[in-house]
Amino acid sequence: MNDPREIRKRLLKYFVPVLLISIGFNLPKFFETEAFIIPVSASDGNETKTESADYVVRLNVTEMRIHPIYSTWANWSQVRKSMNS
């Protein structure tokens, strides 16, 4: 019962399925948006300074996020997640 190998097997038996389900459940969230990094240049009269390290990050929604089937799944999964809390 307290053999280290048996404890490890029990740990993996419960931990691996939970880990795989959580990764599978949350992985699509990373594909919902696209991030674009746009450099912003400061202009001084007619000249443009290129040494500036200022950037603007723009987020756009992908086609997957606005697809009706995925939107339905995403909304119902949030409802299900909030009911389990």
Domain that holds residue 42: 4-84
Q: Say what the pLDDT of residue 12 is.
A: 94
The helix (H) or strand (E) run that includes residue 58 is strand 54-61
Query: pTM score, two decimals?
Result: 0.56
Is 53 within 8 Å of 33 (Cβ atoms)?
no
CA–CA separation, 1 and 5 (whole Å):
10
How many domains does the chain divide into? 1
pLDDT per residue as tens digits for the range 3-32: 889 999 999 999 999 999 989 888 988 899
> What mean pLDDT is predicted for residues 25-53?
75
pLDDT per residue as tens digits for the range 59-80: 999 999 999 999 898 888 878 7
